[in-house]
Structure 1
Amino acid sequence: CQPGFFKASASGEMCEPCPAHTERLGSGALLCPCTDGFYRAPNDPPTGPCSGLPSAPRDLVATTTQLSAGKLLLSWTPPEDTGGRTDITYSVECRRCEGAACQPCGEKIRYEPASAGLTDTKVSVSELDAHLNYTFTVEAHSGVTQFAAQGTPRADRPPSTSALTTSLHYTDPPKVTSMRVDERTSNSLSLSWAVSPRPRAQPRPIRYELTYRKKDDNLDVTMYTVLILEKSSVQINDLAPGTAYLFRVQALSSEGTPGGSSMEDEYETLPEAHLTQNNTAVIFGAAVGGAAMLFIVVVVLLVRKRRRNSHTRQGPEDAYFSSSEQLKPLKTYVDPHTYEDPNTAVLKFASEIHPSHITKQKVIGAGEFGEVYRGILKAPGRKEVAVAIKTLKPGYSEKQRQDFLSEASIMGQFSHQNIIRLEGVVTKFKHAMIVTEYMENGALDKYLRDHDGEMSSFQLVGMLRGIAAGMKYLSDMSYVHRDLAARNILVNNNLECKVSDFGLSRVLEDDPEGTYTTSGGKIPIRWTAPEAIAYRKFTSASDVWSFGIVMWEVMAFGERPYWDMSNHEVMKAINEAFRLPAPMDCPSAVYQLMLQCWLQDRSKRPRFPDIVSLLDKLLRSPDSLKTIADFDPRVSIRLPSTSGSDGSPFRSVSEWLESIKMSQYSENFTCAGVVTMDQVLQMKNEDIKNIGVRLPGHLKRIAYSILGLKDQTSTLSVFAV
């Protein structure tokens, strides 16, 4: 070969010119070595061109997504120069800086999906602290990066990194750490409290929400008083003499959301009459005090003995509601139907909005009472916000109007980031409206179906954690939802899930098969606990059962619970101890929690605080989600009843694909000549790939369905049992 050409071995083939970025040697070259700054990866052919290092990622930006969670999204665009390679990946490094001193962020910081080996140009970073400077460095890698690191000193190489320094300036409300009584009289109490230290960057002044009620208030509707305060002390007057009151104080965020609460503290006003301070009174008081002390000691001993004995005979009801005073939160939900005039409840719990401040933009759905619009709310002194507007259709009766507005009376009592927020109502004009925050991604079940297989188990469990936190808040408020289902969870742009649909007389499903009517109203059978179906016993424990079904819906990407079984089949199966099997690729720990939620004995089901705690634990240890629950395709993919004289469960390939939500591949099967179910039954994984099924989730779903079809007899016997 002439200079500038090479041939890998002595043969009769033509000499080839040296490829790009290689040195041109003298005549007779076997190879052309790479020039300085260019390399070949181990998998590159020795006769191929050499590659350079990628340049730095461009346009690195940080976007705050969830302030209260200390979370941001880093995104960038690919390098302008990839060095001639397509195997570009990215890594992210975080350093935390206080003043001039910087150190690695450590293991506390969480990256989703990972901090290295990224092929996408974005990464979510969470568990960040407020008011600290973070420097994020994003480096582009390729198959030759490792060889470059061994050769040219880093200072002499073109940079492959981009750096960005940012900080989170959110301020979570401080936690109230202690409360004390400074002064008491027979009809007043003076209280003050301490809060946790605040960040060095002083935010706006703190406001507090103080809630109190009588300790022995055993009414069905607990009466409580809420005060919004600008300082950490208060004097409360007009109290009853010699009465114990329970107090709770919470710091409010800048948006008015309650933060960490204090423990519930009890203080008592002085008795109305005081004895004069003479000797007789002192002696008499001492005698009474001694007798009282003796009495208290006896009572304590008796109570302890009784408690010890009662543990052995405590029934399911006692086990779940072990102490109503202890479990009942201070701020208890008030049923608007207890008001003689329902309009009073609306005025008490919801803000009135003038219709001129609302602009309807487009219809996004239809509710029981009328259409639902996306729109804009522009209230005086507030910035413009997107909202959802529920309307009441013309020709309504007064009862329909009251039922419509009762949802606002309920929603207005809640304030939590995982509960849909009520902006206000329009009641003083002809067309009544309920205005709530706008959730861009709509109902959770539809969102999951539209993004089937696109989210990791970690993301799905994160969504479940949000729903569980919302339900914990509702159960703490003594509110039972009764209709918890993925269709009643809304999703925003940040994939935050919020519990919605608090209508008391709502139509639970369009499908008449979706509900089971009893003398007390309609019940969504597939989501409802057996005791609620049989005895209308709705409690937080029945909401926990429903949450288990929601978990299944989420992990199955919006699949219908119990598939095409009828309501009577579902009830019969549940009573015979049948439980939904694990969805495909569902982590074992998540499925075990579902089974705990579906325990027949409601006293043994976990409570929402336990569920939130467990989901938090799983999210802190992502490796715990790698163990997948056992999956039986013959049970997990419900096959329709056999139809046709030949006993075949499907009459066509397209009908079969539609049943497993894979109808988008109908054309692929036809083009590949797979047009009968007999041909489908002969297919293997490689055959499915060859017709163009590339997504792992889709491939698995089709393959598992074929497995189930091959054992149709066994499938039907499973459901017969």
Structure 2
Amino acid sequence: MDTKWVTSELAWTSHPESGWEEVSGYDEAMNPIRTYQVCNVRESSQNNWLRTGFIWRREVQRVYVELKFTVRDCNSIPNIPGSCKETFNLFYYEADSDVASASSPFWMENPYVKVDTIAPDESFSRLDAGRVNTKVRSFGPLSKAGFYLAFQDQGACMSLISVRAFYKKCASTTAGFALFPETLTGAEPTSLVIAPGTCIANAVEVSVPLKLYCNGDGEWMVPVGACTCATGHEPAAKESQCRPCPPGSYKAKQGEGPCLPCPPHSRTASPAASICTCYSNFYRADSDSADSACTTVPSPPRGVISNVNETSLILEWSEPRDLGGRDDLLYNVICKKCHGGPGAGGASACSRCDDNVEFVPRQLGLTERRVHISHLLAHTRYTFEVQAVNGVSGKSPLPPRYAAVNITTNQAAPSEVPTLHLHSSSGSSLTLSWAPPERPNGVILDYEMKYFEKSEGIASTVTSQKNSVQLGGLRPDARYVVQVRARTVAGYGQYSRPAEFETTSERGSGAQQLQEQLPLIVGSATAGLVFVVAVVVIAVVCLRKQRRGSDSEYTEKLQQYVAPGMKVYIDPFTYEDPNEAVREFAKEIDVSCVKIEEVIGAGEFGEVCRGRLKQPGRREVFVAIKTLKVGYTERQRRDFLSEASIMGQFDHPNIIRLEGVVTKSRPVMILTEFMENCALDSFLRLNDGQFTVIQLVGMLRGIAAGMKYLSEMNYVHRDLAARNILVNSNLVCKVSDFGLSRFLEDDPSDPTYTSSLGGKIPIRWTAPEAIAYRKFTSASDVWSYGIVMWEVMSYGERPYWDMSNQDVINAVEQDYRLPPPMDCPTALHQLMLDCWVRDRNLRPKFSQIVNTLDKLIRNAASLKVIASAQSGSVSLPLFPLCF
């Protein structure tokens, strides 16, 4: 409301009628105005009221009133009583509609609300010109639909020239690439009103929430949160707009930076580009940033030179003429063995070289321009292709460019030595002989023999110029594994097959007598063992018949013993009623004792959770909870609970401990101890390089101890892998996942191979006889343990890397074995190779593995000898080889 611009009657309500009077006048600019005046100064006890019309509030909470008025100086009025005043009062009255009348509300301070007593800065006399005073007052908070203003005169001579009622607001604004709407001020002058913001077009939030504060004076202050221009857009119009990048430029990251011209060998065809696309035949590597120039593949290496020495050679070459614009150049050497040729009356046919060809320092990923190649066949033609590759070679649809060289080898190394023979044996020595190789391929210079005590696994070597040798300094009554190979000027041949020989006992006569009586002892022991096993089987059958219908829980009646202190594992699937096995081996827990806190994963049958278990009389413990999903079949329930029936039979610090099961309520649950560091493979990957060798060997020792316990119970795990080993906060490793030992399901993260006999097998961890013949034994678990050793020492690297399952089977069948991981001690890699012996009868037992690891831990110096990268392995290609 502003009366300054009103030229017609205001028609406000006054009381009494002899008080305020509406008159016409002119302001200082001689514009016509409507005013109210009052001057009843000669009469005492004046109470003159003037009330405006109804003013709608809308959403305003505080109102400001500007008053312009003049007041006559009481001293300039002669002969007036002492009741003359030079002030007046300002009031307001709230209502939900225009309900005021001439008599209502009552003309008094209550129900009117007083705002202030208004006094002039200057008054005027009769002789002076009128001096206009301007005063501003505010009031609030208001809550009803509108209000009236009221003015009370109590004996002043004054004129109310204009009245303006207004409110304050913060105008809509753009700040920090965010738009904030028009916002009214608060109910108090000190109030701060929050205005939420929204990012302008083509902008994204970088911090939330977005808000500004509107103060009582209608000014913005205290910005919180901000936006920034999205990718492909740059700031414009003083940071009030985000403008698309024009064609030919880009912006890869959100932020306030400008658009940039496209890097070399790239372009954009449309605006708002976040990345420039490469020209044809130019690429970016996966590790390149968006602002990197596009590059191409290198040209072939130049000047390949070969130097052949019998069945080995040295290749050297020069750098390519064009590096493709990159500095990550590597070289691959591709070996092809050729048959026939123009000299043989036909075209040459080439195929991939045998896996035993050795490349030093390596075959693929070479940084230097030189490689030594050995173990080639004698008198054979070879083609070697030297490829130049860089970070974008894998992006090109064409094979890497190469330079080729053809060579023919000369004399070859000797063939494998035939079987060894034992001539004599004593308590400290073995005398052995052998026949020369069938194909010596030259004059044999000497023989090298490698031997080690089977329980130790640490090898020693001796040389002999004859085809016989006496090994001395051996331990009595011990079994030794021996291999021999021949050497010519062409180098060493292959080692013979491992052969085992045993030293005699120091008690010679006693040993001879024992040897004579050995068949009788073995026969008696076998008969006794058969008798004990028969008794156990009969006892189990009788006990099952007695148990039918019984509801007793968690007994050990089925834990029969073959020998004192030796438990026998009982397969829960041999029970006619699988629920009976659950009752026998797993403790039933009341669901009220279990509190599920969070879901930490998903298993084969349902969710895996972390929770707490509080049983009466026992302290509360953290537990891992496997749940059975809703809608399960009876077969799924049986298979799910079978893992509990298995775990309930085990009690060892390196085997996951079963706390109990919940089967009498939903969901069905299996509760085990909680392992803070989860699976061993992921734990190692997260802590790559953070442990000492002794700590890693300690982990391996714990796993071996758990497997020793299982093997002594005649239990075969079938799925031993680092993913199935759990680690607690003290780095104690425990064997788990016994449900998968019987049912191996197909998992995309762990590909399996379907054998001809059906069922899924984790190829990378499984022994050859288990893959081919489904022959799972403790010896096949030992093979898997060797793979676990490799996983631990490589900090969770994937065994056989990205080779396919069929490639793994073929490589193992051709006697390929995994090379030692980086910084792996020789003794540990040798133990791995022992676990991977083809003949399962020659693999060490878990008890021997534990003993070997204990000796290595006690003799830490033996772990300082690091295996070479080629130890026990053949290099594998990093890129596919096409022929």
Q: Identify the TM-score tier after normalising by the shorter chain.
A: 0.3 to 0.5
Max radius of gyration: which structure? 2
TM-score (norm 1): 0.44
Higher helix share: 1
TM-score (norm 2): 0.36
Higher strand share: 2
